[in-house]
């Protein structure tokens, strides 16, 4: 059994028995054995070498904005990228963004420097690393549209792959199911535009998002992927499920594609709601909904 002091040799900013609910926007989850905050690429590499050598389970977490954590917690190490932040200008339209950088920071940088192509992500609470993993998108845009390349650590080795080798699809990338890859940074290729025009589009997206996605409670965003031309929220609403509640987990009355935490929701209550939604939508429309949120749990747990 590893100890906190062993982890601190490689990553000094680390904690034991850490509440997962404080690491996710859903505000749900038990405690993780350990959480580590690498503050440099070297620390991250050293920590991963230690993890691999000792065959320790690990999970990489950015802002935890599309994650549902188990009530039982996590047996292993959570690697938080929140300290790995920063944007470097490479050329007039190319920027390098460290994986833990918030999407809101990227949008703000683009506004200030008159760079277009990322406005659609306004209001997305995740990090660039998380956006790459799930090929985040909104309003017809997606992160893969502006990716040039991604640098990551795999089995202790630093690698860089161009967009063409990252297998981007709808809400999917090379990294979606590749648990041994930890993203370091992404190079974005944007387009030059006037700062005023970029700011106007950002303002427009901000208003649009606030009008239909300001659910007022903790959530993990859209629960389900779009599987056809009809948005999951419409299917859910047409099944009469808007406002359906199990414990403190409820289908948002504002946006039925969201499940929100009224205060004391558990992961099991959210999962029960997800199952009910899936069953109802399939029974009425013969459509199988697929979850967009990620389930954070130990490998031997099924919830």
Active site residues: 171, 222, 292
| Number of other CB atoms surrounding residue 169 within 10 Å | 11
Token pair 């999951």: residue: 232
Using only C-alpha atoms, what is the Rg of the chain?
Answer: 19
C-alpha 90/C-alpha 52 separation (Å) is 33
With CA atoms as reference, report the closest residue to 55 among 151, 155, 153, 182: 155
Q: How many residues does the chain have?
A: 303
How far apart CA 39 and CA 161 sit, in angstroms, is 23
Which residues, listed in sequence order, are joined to residue 188 by a DSSP beta bridge? Answer: 95, 147
CA angle, 64 as apex, 142 and 182 as ends, to 5°?
75
Angle (CA) 145-158-298 rounded to 5° is 85
DSSP-based helix, strand, coil % in the chain, nearest 5: 30, 30, 40
Measured distance CA(72)–CA(302) in Å, rounded: 11
């Amino acid at each position: 059994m590893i100890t906190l002091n062993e982890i601190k040799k490689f990553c000094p900013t680390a904690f034991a028995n850490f509440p997962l609910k404080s690491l996710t926007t859903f505000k749900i989850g038990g405690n993780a054995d350990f959480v580590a905050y690498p503050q440099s690429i070297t620390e991250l590499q050293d920590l991963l070498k230690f993890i691999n050598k000792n065959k320790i389970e690990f999970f990489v977490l950015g802002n935890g904005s599309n994650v549902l954590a188990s009530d039982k917690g996590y047996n292993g190490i959570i690697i938080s990228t929140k300290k790995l932040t920063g944007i470097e200008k490479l050329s007039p339209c190319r920027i390098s963004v460290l994986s833990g950088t918030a999407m809101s920071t990227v949008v703000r940088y683009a506004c200030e420097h008159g760079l277009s192509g990322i406005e659609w992500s306004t209001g997305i609470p995740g990090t660039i690393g998380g956006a790459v993993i799930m090929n985040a998108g909104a309003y017809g845009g997606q992160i893969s549209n502006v990716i040039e390349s991604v640098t990551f650590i795999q089995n202790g080795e630093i690698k860089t792959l161009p967009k063409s080798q990252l297998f981007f699809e709808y809400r999917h990338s090379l990294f979606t199911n590749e648990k041994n890859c930890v993203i370091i940074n992404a190079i974005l290729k944007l387009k030059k535009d006037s700062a005023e025009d970029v700011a106007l589009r950002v303002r427009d997206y901000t208003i649009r998002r606030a009008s239909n996605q300001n659910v007022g409670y903790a959530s993990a965003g859209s629960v389900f992927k779009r599987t056809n031309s009809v948005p999951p929220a419409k299917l859910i609403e047409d099944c009469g499920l808007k406002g359906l509640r199990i414990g403190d987990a409820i289908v948002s009355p504002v946006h039925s594609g969201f499940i929100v935490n009224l205060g004391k929701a558990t992961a099991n209550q959210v999962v029960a709601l997800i199952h009910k939604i899936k069953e109802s939508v399939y029974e009425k429309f013969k459509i199988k909904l697929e979850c967009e949120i990620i389930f954070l749990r130990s490998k031997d747990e099924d919830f």
